[in-house]
Structure 1
Amino acid sequence: MGSRSWSQVPHCSHSQSSNGRCIGKTASEKYSVAAPCYSCLSCADMMDLINVAILSQSFSSYHSIEISNSIGALSGQRRKRVVTIHVSDTQGNRVVGASVSVQQLAKDFPLGSAIASTILGNSPYQAWFLKRFNAAVFENELKWYTTEPQPGKLNYTLADRMLEFVRANKVVVRGHNIFWENPSVTPSWVRNLTGDDLRSAVKSRIKGLMSRYRGEFVHWDVNNEMLHFDFYEQRLGPNASLEFFDTAQQADPLATLFMNEFNVLETCADASSTVDSYISKLRELKEGGAVLEGIGLEGHFFTQPNLPLMRAVLDKLATLDLPIWLTEVDINHMFDHQTQAIYLEEVLREGFSYPSVNGIMLWTALHPYGCYEMCLTDGDFHNLPSGDVVDGLLQEWETKETGGVTDDHGLYSFDGFLGEYMVSVSYANKSTETTLSLDKGDETKHLNIQL
């Protein structure tokens, strides 16, 4: 986080009024479609910007040129890096004409899906999942109503078995969730507790859950959807969430602790979860001492995705210098399969192209009855249109096996997506293989290989 003060308004570098609104641009400049200052705008301002674009008949060109047509190029700029391989002999002489082969072994960007206990013992489901995804989140199996349906009667059987599955297959897994502010999904016995009894129960929940799984989950959604609901604050006081974050950080300091919320990215129509509300709550927790290091945006789209709005929200949240994850992406089931696929592709491309988005999770756990809102496959693991979209993007965002020969300077270069690679080099009767970790960076990555 550097020296950033969380008491400062985390919007933009322009001059600001006391309420954090940008006064560094004129109204016409601020609402310019050509160069909008997204991080200065309130949610209402963002919608004004989009409406101005529509009324001026510039929306279609703005959408197609600045969003759709640029996303592929943006993805290449932000998720790829140039590598130059230097091949020499044991005397340090450059080797001209050496054969070079490059194969990507693993992707750096986490693209995953929710899974349910239905994956246990289900070989076709497991094979389908592992072929595609390098990240997972348990749909319901870690939630309090699952692990402790009655007071003191803990049951981690499903979560333990699911953890064994992802761990054995080297799949990154998010922890979802420790608490959920929505009383309708809080265990009934917890809803009947008050005062010290409730405080004791929540402390036991945090310590028991996180000590059991210490170091196993890269993230934890600490108190889910706290912008929409306030079950614990109503009963334990306004600092309840702050206490949850503090206790969670002590229980597992290796995990990144997240806020997680819906309707921040999806719409401006929900007054409870505007981007400014999210920033305000996050700043409140940080100023109270919470070790809160991740921004979770669920991404349950119940209307057509508004890509300019999505970009504007991401621009504003990116000023906080925290990793952003799209944590529960799906498209509402009221749309037909083909429309779901079209909208899903728009969201995934926008998220992948945005530099502060560090991972994307799909909310597509499969059950006999289907999925929460959107499935990628049918019950026989034949892709639905949305599954075809995911498969197409996974292929597009992967470096195809490539190769060639070193030039007159003993060099071979390629442009690859970030991740792990196997590099094979041969010349005459000599050959060697080495692994390459291609991490983020603006400069060319250099790899020296000696034959």
Structure 2
Amino acid sequence: MACSCAHGVVFDANLLRNSALEDGLAGWAPLGACTKLSAHDEEPANVPTETINDVADDYKPSGRYILATGRACEEDGLCQVIPGGALMPRITYRVAGWISLGDGMAKAEGAGDAVVRINIRLGGDGGEGVEEEKCLVVEGGVVCAEAGKWTEIKGVFRLKASPVLSGAAAVHVQGAPAGVDVKVMDLQVFAVDRKARFKKLKKKTDKVRRRDVVLKFADAGASSAVSGASIRVMQMDQSFAFGACINPAVIQDPNFVDFFTKHFDWAVFENELKWYHTEAVQGQLNYADTDALLDFCDRYGKPVRGHCIFWAVDNMVQKWVKALDNDQLTAAVQGRLTSLLTRYTGRFPHYDVNNEMLHGSFFQDKLGEDVNAFMFKETARIDPGAALFVNDYNVEGGNDPNATPEKYIAQINALQEKGAPVGGIGLQGHVTNPVGEIICDALDKLATTDLPIWLTELDACETDLDLRADDYEVVLREAYAHPAVEGVVFWGFMQGHMWRQDACLVNSDGTVNCAGERFINLRREWTSHARGKIDSDGNFKFRGYHGSYIVQLATATGKMHKTFSVEKGDTPLVLDMDV
């Protein structure tokens, strides 16, 4: 395994004994009086071949697994003690490996799959005699396991403080229904080396977001006229978009406005476009807040994402809508589309059409499975210039069985099969303890749809400011380095004006905290400026990030200013500056 150390932490080294690979079941213990453990070899054809686990560059799933049988309840399973002192506070740990189900699932309630949880128990040895109240249980991963199929674990946890009771800790695998056999392959717990990941991402970013540029200031025969002249190239804006959430209160705060206008290119309204805000009472339309926010964005030249036309989650639907019968609801849906979209045709480049359909299905339950596609098609008919997004949460985290990339892709495919013009994928990005490899895995899978991806509601919740800065950097570097991602929108940034309180970049008095400084520094890192002299061939060469530029050339006869753009491309961009 590849390892590096910092402050006594050994990164990318498994803290567990994979005894199925070594000497049978040493290190593993059953949970539950009836549970029995045994070691087995999987059929070669059934061993997983793809994994995001890059603890070692040559890692492949081993095919050896532990089988837990005779489970009498959901708490039964298997466990292994983690060596004392191995887990350290403030370090992000990944839980990796593979889970499958064996016999018994067909007889269990809800046959087909089962939620299996990996828990980290602190303050006890994990055995049968440990008193429950003396243990702190930290979730280390959740998978929706199936019989006959291996599902990869993508768990993450971080400790706020050291385990102090007995100094012991254990990992537990449990949660499937009673009587269902659980298989565990290559379970690993290891510290994540973020700095090593960042080095890889910088190389990836250079390839994805930068391009060689040749500025030609003279033909070969006239190069002497400009050769040696001083030149300065400055990037004015980026092709990659950064945005932030706004509302009527924050745009009255000069500190908020100052940071927003300096560091963000796009906006999204927190609640003011949602149906429950614009029509809280049936028939009483109120677009005053929406109009005021649009006027603010127009003054500063900020395009706005339209969030959202509908919201699929039941408890986000206003009471009067819930009280409608099906015919009345059909009319209300059409009325909402017509009212909103005709009023603001051309004003919102993006729309989140029906928010969080992986986690809610109010309109589909009432009006049938075709209603979601209808919402997309009708939106496109009324406002054909807008890109229409699906938008959901937890997809990038790998720890929500309801929101896997595979389920998101299936939802998108189903919409498209019904004629819905899906134009983009929204990942909300409400993250806790983010891990780059897990985010990248989700982005890679979603990119197979060939749709642009945006992180639409980013916030990283962490009380420790230094860790919060690190968490933001993890997400931002993964997003910026991925070719399918076109923008990141923060779900607020100022203390006291955010949905998640421990996620701010700017304090309430306007001072920028270290998380905000990290964001500013990343934007600075991803901006290209160049100075130098025109060469003897009349050219100036540099490598720049995609976006718009201004060039200033100083010659004996005066100064010249020109603008140009650097677009994506694999070959050098050659531009004639026409001196």
TM-score range for the pair, normalised by the shorter chain length: 0.7 to 0.9
Aligned match of 2:556:
428
1:440 aligns with 2:440: no
Question: How far, CA to CA, are the matches of 1:153 and 1:426 in structure 2?
Answer: 61
Aligned match of 2:450:
321
Q: Which amino acid aligns with 1:222?
A: V
Question: How far, CA to CA, are the matches of 2:453 and 2:217 in structure 1?
Answer: 39
Aligned match of 1:156:
287
Aligned match of 1:11:
none
Conservation of the 8 A alpha-carbon contact between 1:29 and 1:36: no
Aligned match for 2:304, one of 165, 173, 178: 173
Conservation of the 8 A alpha-carbon contact between 1:106 and 1:419: yes
Question: How far, CA to CA, are the matches of 1:278 and 1:46 in structure 2?
Answer: 17
1:393 aligns with 2:522: yes
State the structure with bigger RCO (CA 8 A, min sep 6), 1 or 2.
1
* Larger CA deviation: 26-35 vs 235-244: 26-35
Distance 1:54 1:450, change over 3 A: farther
Conservation of the 8 A alpha-carbon contact between 2:243 and 2:266: yes
Give the CA deviation at 1:183: 2.0
Q: When the two structures are aligned, how many residues end up with a matched partner? A: 419
Alignment map for 1:209-248 (pairs within 5 Å): 209-248=340-379
Aligned match for 2:390, one of 255, 259, 278: 259
Q: Which amino acid aligns with 1:157?
A: A
Alignment map for 1:30-429 (pairs within 5 Å): 30-31=50-51, 33=54, 34=57, 45-47=151-153, 55=188, 60=192, 64-65=195-196, 67-88=197-218, 92-93=222-223, 95-268=226-399, 270-301=400-431, 303-332=432-461, 335-364=463-492, 366=494, 368=496, 370-373=498-501, 374-400=503-529, 402-429=530-557
Q: Which amino acid aligns with 1:404?
A: G
Distance 1:328 1:88, change over 3 A: same
- 1:323-360 deviation per Cα after TM superposition (whole angstroms, max 9, x unaligned): 01111111235x33332222111111111111111111
1:27 aligns with 2:158: no
Question: How far, CA to CA, are the matches of 2:331 and 2:58 in structure 1?
Answer: 52
Distance 1:252 1:382, change over 3 A: same
Conservation of the 8 A alpha-carbon contact between 2:468 and 2:515: yes
Aligned match of 1:18:
none
- 1:6-31 deviation per Cα after TM superposition (whole angstroms, max 9, x unaligned): xxxxxxxxxxxxxxxxx999837434
Report the TM-score when normalising by structure 1: 0.86
Give the CA deviation at 1:437: 1.0
Question: How far, CA to CA, are the matches of 1:139 and 1:24 in structure 2?
Answer: 51
Conservation of the 8 A alpha-carbon contact between 1:105 and 1:420: yes
- 1:206-261 deviation per Cα after TM superposition (whole angstroms, max 9, x unaligned): 11111111111111000000111111111111111111111111111111000001
Question: How far, CA to CA, are the matches of 1:203 and 1:159 in structure 2?
Answer: 20
Distance 1:251 1:204, change over 3 A: same
Question: How far, CA to CA, are the matches of 2:59 and 2:440 in structure 1?
Answer: 11
Conservation of the 8 A alpha-carbon contact between 1:118 and 1:367: no
**Matched residue SS, 2:541:** strand
Q: Which amino acid aligns with 1:422?
A: I
Conservation of the 8 A alpha-carbon contact between 1:215 and 1:254: yes
Q: Which amino acid aligns with 1:428?
A: A
**Matched residue SS, 1:105:** strand
- 5+ residue gaps, structure 1, are 1-22
Q: Which amino acid aligns with 1:348?
A: L
Distance 1:326 1:368, change over 3 A: closer
Conservation of the 8 A alpha-carbon contact between 1:178 and 1:220: yes
- 5+ residue gaps, structure 2, are 1-42, 61-97, 100-142, 145-150, 157-183
Question: How far, CA to CA, are the matches of 2:309 and 2:347 in structure 1?
Answer: 14
Give the CA deviation at 1:82: 1.4
Q: Which amino acid aligns with 1:30?
A: E
- 1:352-393 deviation per Cα after TM superposition (whole angstroms, max 9, x unaligned): 111111111111154756543422112211112221221111
Q: Which amino acid aligns with 1:197?
A: Q
Conservation of the 8 A alpha-carbon contact between 2:430 and 2:459: yes
Report the TM-score when normalising by structure 2: 0.68
Give the CA deviation at 1:395: 1.2
Taking only aligned residues, the RMSD between alpha carbons, in angstroms, comes to: 2.8
Give the CA deviation at 1:423: 0.8
Conservation of the 8 A alpha-carbon contact between 1:181 and 1:223: yes
Distance 1:46 1:441, change over 3 A: farther
Conservation of the 8 A alpha-carbon contact between 1:90 and 1:450: no
Find the structure with the greater CA-based Rg. 2
Structure having the larger proportion of residues in helix: 1
- 1:49-103 deviation per Cα after TM superposition (whole angstroms, max 9, x unaligned): 999887397x756x654x2221122222211111111112797545311221111
Give the CA deviation at 1:314: 0.9
Give the CA deviation at 1:199: 0.8
Distance 1:25 1:321, change over 3 A: farther
Conservation of the 8 A alpha-carbon contact between 2:495 and 2:505: no
**Matched residue SS, 2:233:** strand
Aligned match of 2:16:
none
Question: How far, CA to CA, are the matches of 1:217 and 1:52 in structure 2?
Answer: 48
* Larger CA deviation: 213-222 vs 364-373: 364-373
Question: How far, CA to CA, are the matches of 2:395 and 2:577 in structure 1?
Answer: 48
Conservation of the 8 A alpha-carbon contact between 2:435 and 2:474: no
- 1:157-212 deviation per Cα after TM superposition (whole angstroms, max 9, x unaligned): 11111111112222121110000011222122111112111111111111111111
